[in-house]
Amino acid sequence: METLRTLEALEREGLIAAAADLAEAAASMAIALTPEMLALIDRDDPADPIARQFVPSAAETRVAADELDDPIGDAARSPVKGIVHRYPDRVLLKPIHVCPVYCRFCFRREKVGPGSEALSADELERALEYIAADKGIWEVILTGGDPLMLAARRLGALLDRLDAMAHVGVIRLHSRVPIVDPGRVTEALTGTLTGAALKRRRAALWLAVHCNHPRELGPATRGALARLADAGIPLLGQTVLLAGVNDDVDTLDALMRALVTARVKPYYLHHPDLVRGTGHFRVPIERGQALMKALRGRLSGLAQPTYVLDVPGGHGKVPVGPSYLSGYRGDDPDALLVEDAFGRQHRYPR
């Protein structure tokens, strides 16, 4: 079966009632649902958490006043097309805007999809020249779109160019591919990533995979992650906290455990951004903090992600997890009150 890309295809599969009813919602963003993700959907569950991520909803037509076209301020930090330079020592490089699936909560939902802007050869060259000229850039993050959708030859050439820049110490890729289209993770791809033809890469290469629900980590996906880990590629996990998908402690617990056992270190739990038409996915920050507090008592540090919020306007990510320290409320002004992972409070000297 091929990837589903139209409302009519979703209707044929019984995932929506009538294509005509969702024309307005679908117009705001491309549709793509891989066979691997389709197979995970429970057709008898109208609130299925896998379907909720990829199938258009009428709720997408409701846009709140505080929702934004560019919620994390990419445009304000883009000195050259394809580059976002938000922090002094790292840049985002967006060579492609195509993805294997299109998540309905995507913070770049209006910029990704077939026919959307990708970098031409000249534009990519200017982006690489920008990175080469700024010796303070230590880390380059390939995103988009999904960089693993690039042809292997083009991806390899891009990694080679970055690897040749002596000041670039880390190359990080952000991808959904190993999770939603694991068949793409071939020996040829792992060889491209590790630079097998060159015997080794100088810069450290990391791969961050996006996974939101434990059911996404089926046998094929675990196999793809194992191939990457066995090739020596360190893996990080990124998750978006989504109402109706993973906003309960049992689901997050199961997800983080599944990631760790697949040799993926949970990295970020993202608070959902202020994306137009995505209010039905957002949860209160207080809810996210409570969930993180509950995970602290259930999971080891290896399985704990950092709960982060991307400040609108291009000001970067900040941790917004719960605090465990407060002023001591007893008769000792020189002491602090610290809360342990199980909610008990203890005096601690300043």
In a domain, 159, yes or no: yes
Kindly report the number of other CB atoms within 10 A of residue 188's CB atom.
Answer: 12
162 and 75 housed in the same domain: yes
Q: CA 146 to CA 249: how far, in whole Å?
A: 29
Domains in the chain: how many in total?
Answer: 2
Residue 102 belongs to some domain of the structure:
yes
E strand segments, 222-281: 235-240, 264-270
Task: Return the CATH number at 270.
Answer: 3.20.20.70
Spell out a b/e string for 295-318, using b for 16 or more CB atoms within 10 Å of the CB, else e: bbebbeeebbbebbbbeeebeebe
Per-residue pLDDT of the chain (350 residues), as tens digits, is 899 999 999 999 999 999 999 999 999 899 999 999 999 999 999 999 999 999 999 999 999 999 998 999 999 999 999 999 999 999 999 999 999 999 999 988 767 777 666 799 999 999 999 999 999 999 999 998 999 999 999 999 999 999 999 999 999 999 999 999 999 999 999 999 998 666 678 999 999 999 999 999 999 999 999 999 999 999 999 999 999 999 999 999 999 999 999 999 999 999 999 999 999 999 999 999 999 999 999 999 999 999 999 999 999 999 999 999 887 666 677 888 999 999 999 988 87
3 state DSSP class of 91: strand
CB count within 10 Å of CB 3 equals 17
* Residue in this structure with the two tokens 């020596």, named with its chain if needed: 232
Provide the CA 245 distance to its chain's centre, in angstroms. 15
- CB count within 10 Å of CB 250 equals 11
Query: Containing domain of residue 342, as a range?
Result: 323-350
77 and 86 in contact (C-beta within 8 Å)? yes
| 298/333 same-domain check | no
Structural contact between residues 207 and 234, judged by C-beta atoms closer than 8 angstroms = yes
Q: What is the pTM of this model?
A: 0.94
Same domain as 293, residue 160: yes
The residues, ordered by sequence, that sit 6+ positions from 120 with a Cβ below 8 Å of its Cβ are none
- Note whether 185 and 303 are same-domain residues: yes
Q: Is residue 259 part of a domain?
A: yes
Q: Which residues are catalytic?
A: 86-87, 90, 99, 103, 106, 108, 273, 310, 317
Beta bridge partners of 170: 139, 204
